[in-house]
Amino acid sequence: MLKHSIHAAAKKMQIDFEEVTENINHMGERGSSREAILLRYLRNYIPSKYEMDNGVIIDGNGTQSRQQDIIIYDSFNSPVLLDMEKTKMVPIESVFSVIEVKSSLKKTEIEKCVKNISSVKSLVKNGLVEINSPTAGFVFAFTSTTTLETLLDNLVEANHDVEKHKHISVICVLDKGLIVNVSKKGLKDIVLVPDEDTTLAIIKNTAENNLMLFYLLLMQYLNQSSVSVPNLLKYASEGELLNIEYTIPKRHVPLDGYYEFNGGVIDIENVNKIMKDSDLQEKICEGKANSEDIMLYLSKQLNNIVKHAEKINGNPQYTIDFMGKIYRVFEIEKSISIFNKLNSGEEVDQEDLDLYTGFCKDMYEQYRSQF
């Protein structure tokens, strides 16, 4: 029964397309009509859980695909991010497949199909659960003035710089046949997700059987594929629809937490230690500190600063950058030792005093040069 229904649909599609071709001269309207013919057929034979529309696909990074003739996506769990009369915007995580629809397939149209489908397969999926299957790309054409063998050559040429997993899954030319991917191991099994172990092959048949096979391959992919619920907060923040910034009152900041920075982590406890002298640090940052303020701050925070830097870089820290100049840690430690002795009233020999005076002068001049 299904076979007879699809055969009848194939004949009806050809008749409808011929009428469209004869009666519509404007290419835009003709394109919309050919897509409507295929959509009408697909909606009769594909379960209602699969929604089908034309539009653009977007990922959580804000990257958009090219305009797609038909997008097949999850109609139960997927939000449509933009829903206008002539186009929609659908998140990539919800998309099972796309279909490019052509009146007559030729080399230039194949090149467009490759670019359009590759633009979809380049999008990044970021679902709430990691169950996303690859998005498949199909091409459907009503006819072609070119042989399937030449179309295959055109496809190979257009795919030259395209990664294998971004290739088209199936091309159907209704009145000629199909171009499919088959496994190199045995050269008989049709593979709907192209990879390095597949190669292109041709299937020639009647229009009725071509439509039947196209339908079966599309349904097989839909049945074996899984999509996820998109992470809508990521879409909102990356698309600048929503600015999310966290503020935690100081008394509630967890000391056992951490910040992420440059691929590493920074313990909040270490940050708090550095911030204990925040008034002195603020004075230095505003250019209002004197030489003694700088040494006082370093005497209290040098160890924390060094540990903090080692935590970020993952390596021992022998130098630090102070106001755009690199100073060796052991020289700073020596000057701090002398600074502490002077503050406690201990005796300091002339050599150490000269070392300390010269170091403080150099550091202060470097500091002042930044303001």
Q: What is the mean pLDDT of each run of 10 residues along the chain (371 residues)?
A: 63 62 48 76 86 89 90 81 69 93 94 96 82 91 93 96 95 94 88 93 89 90 87 65 55 56 51 56 79 84 76 78 86 89 88 89 87 75
Say if residue 33 is in the same domain as residue 170: yes
Say if residue 232 is in the same domain as residue 285: no
- 97 close to 72: Cβ distance less than 8 angstroms: yes
| Strand extents, DSSP E, the chain | 50-58, 68-74, 82-83, 88-91, 95-104, 136-143, 170-173, 177-183, 198-204, 258-261, 264-267, 319-322, 325-328
Say if residue 59 is in the same domain as residue 200: yes
Amino acid 240: pLDDT? 47
In the numeric block, which tokens belong to residue 138? 């199909």
Which of 213, 238, 263 represents a domain boundary (last residue)?
238
Say if residue 219 is in the same domain as residue 322: no
Say if residue 12 is in the same domain as residue 124: yes
Rounded Cα gap, residues 120 and 98, in angstroms: 8
Say if residue 41 is in the same domain as residue 68: yes
Say if residue 353 is in the same domain as residue 231: no
Domain with 30 in it: 2-238
Judge whether 245 lies within some domain. no
Which residues, other chains included, contact 345 with Cβ-Cβ below 8 Å and sequence gap of 6+?
none
Say if residue 197 is in the same domain as residue 254: no
Say if residue 7 is in the same domain as residue 131: yes
- 177 close to 148: Cβ distance less than 8 angstroms: yes
Residue appearing with tokens 């055969």: 7
Amino acid 256: pLDDT? 59
Q: How many domains does the chain have?
A: 2
Beta-strand relationship, 136-143 and 68-74: unpaired
Amino acid 269: pLDDT? 54
Say if residue 144 is in the same domain as residue 52: yes
Which of 238, 264, 284 represents a domain boundary (last residue)?
238
Beta-strand relationship, 82-83 and 50-58: unpaired
Judge whether 244 lies within some domain. no
Say if residue 325 is in the same domain as residue 194: no
Rounded Cα gap, residues 211 and 215, in angstroms: 6
Amino acid 28: pLDDT? 45
